[in-house]
């Protein structure tokens, strides 16, 4: 049987430490996910964040919901934690004096929106208010240090949560690097991002943590982190992956996602 990824072993092998819980804007114990597929709620449109829209729960994964905006296509699904401030019970928008908006890319004529809204809400199963959990408080400061390990959402494949390493720290931001993927999926984010989780998060929520990739990362930052490059190589040979190696530059926007002075060798 294929050996399962173990953080305990991996932290030892890489001689690294897990980022402490208080670094993250996540609850110490992941919130329970009581939602059910098919329920509707209000969500901020990720592509037009000032708009509050109706969304349907398409899937449940750990403490997250896979959401699709009503009137949108099936190509723009997004994932939100059950304690995200981006989601709220149906009726919240109206209570606050707001108006529900059609999603960006509403598939019908704009004039048909009021009728579409009536129909989509008619007989809908609305997610109960008690299922929405309070957003955890912000960390007091950016406590992350280069080399610390964490679990992070792969923003190019947002259903995936993967082992990652802090590659750089600048002000309130951190550079999240994905172990074994040669920088192809790395990104900068705020230290209070909801996309990063402490080591052990997935095992608590029941999410499937992806194993690290098998591509040896040779960036200046990782050279700084990895005290022994031979260990990285050994690790990558121990965990063969089915997926093809990812070219280092794949999908990277020029001038973005990489701190100045950091280069892939």
> Which residues lie near ligand MLZ (CB under 6 A)?
154, 157, 160, 162, 178, 181, 185, 243, 246
The smaller minimum CB distance to ligand MLZ, of residues 93 and 196, is found at 196
Q: Which residue is nearest to ligand MLZ (CB)?
A: 243
Tell me how far, at minimum, the Cβ of 82 lies from ligand MLZ, in Å: 23
Query: Token pair of 93, please?
Result: 């928008």
Tell me how far, at minimum, the Cβ of 37 lies from ligand MLZ, in Å: 24
The smaller minimum CB distance to ligand MLZ, of residues 82 and 164, is found at 164
Tell me how far, at minimum, the Cβ of 152 lies from ligand MLZ, in Å: 8
- The region that residue 228 occupies, defined by phi over 0 for left and psi between -120 and 50 for alpha, beta otherwise, is beta
The smaller minimum CB distance to ligand MLZ, of residues 169 and 246, is found at 246
Are 236 and 216 within 8 A, CB to CB?
yes
The smaller minimum CB distance to ligand MLZ, of residues 175 and 185, is found at 185
Q: Is residue 82 exposed (0-12), middle (13-18) or buried (19+ Cβ within 10 Å)?
A: buried
The smaller minimum CB distance to ligand MLZ, of residues 133 and 235, is found at 235
The smaller minimum CB distance to ligand MLZ, of residues 143 and 246, is found at 246
The smaller minimum CB distance to ligand MLZ, of residues 112 and 214, is found at 214
Rounded CA Rg of the chain:
20
Tell me how far, at minimum, the Cβ of 198 lies from ligand MLZ, in Å: 18
Are 240 and 214 within 8 A, CB to CB?
yes
d(CA 38, CA 161): 24
Q: Is residue 256 exposed (0-12), middle (13-18) or buried (19+ Cβ within 10 Å)?
A: exposed
Tell me how far, at minimum, the Cβ of 154 lies from ligand MLZ, in Å: 4
């Amino acid at each position: 049987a294929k050996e399962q990824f173990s953080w305990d072993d991996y932290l030892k092998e890489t001689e690294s430490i897990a980022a402490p819980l208080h670094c993250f804007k996540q609850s110490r114990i992941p919130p329970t996910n009581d939602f059910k597929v098919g329920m509707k709620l209000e969500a901020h449109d990720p592509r037009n964040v000032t708009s509050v829209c109706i969304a349907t729960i398409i899937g449940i994964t750990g403490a997250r919901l896979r959401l699709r905006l009503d009137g949108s296509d099936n190509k723009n699904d997004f994932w939100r934690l059950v304690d995200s401030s981006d989601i709220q019970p149906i009726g919240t928008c109206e209570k606050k004096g707001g108006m529900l908006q059609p999603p960006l890319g509403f598939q019908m004529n704009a004039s048909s929106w009021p009728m579409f809204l009536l129909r989509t809400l008619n007989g809908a199963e609305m997610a109960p208010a008690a299922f929405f959990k309070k957003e955890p408080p912000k960390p007091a400061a950016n406590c992350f240090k280069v080399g610390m390990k964490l679990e992070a959402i792969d923003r190019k494949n947002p259903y995936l949560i993967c082992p990652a390493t802090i590659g750089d720290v600048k002000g309130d931001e951190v550079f999240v690097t994905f172990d074994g993927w040669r920088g192809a999926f790395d990104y900068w984010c705020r230290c209070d991002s909801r996309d990063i989780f402490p080591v052990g998060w997935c095992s608590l929520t029941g999410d499937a943590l992806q194993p690290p990739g098998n591509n040896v990362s040779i960036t200046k930052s990782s050279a700084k982190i990895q005290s022994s490059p031979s260990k990285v190589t050994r690790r990558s040979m121990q965990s063969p992956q089915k997926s093809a190696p990812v070219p280092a530059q794949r999908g990277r926007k020029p001038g973005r996602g990489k701190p100045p002075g950091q280069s892939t060798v």
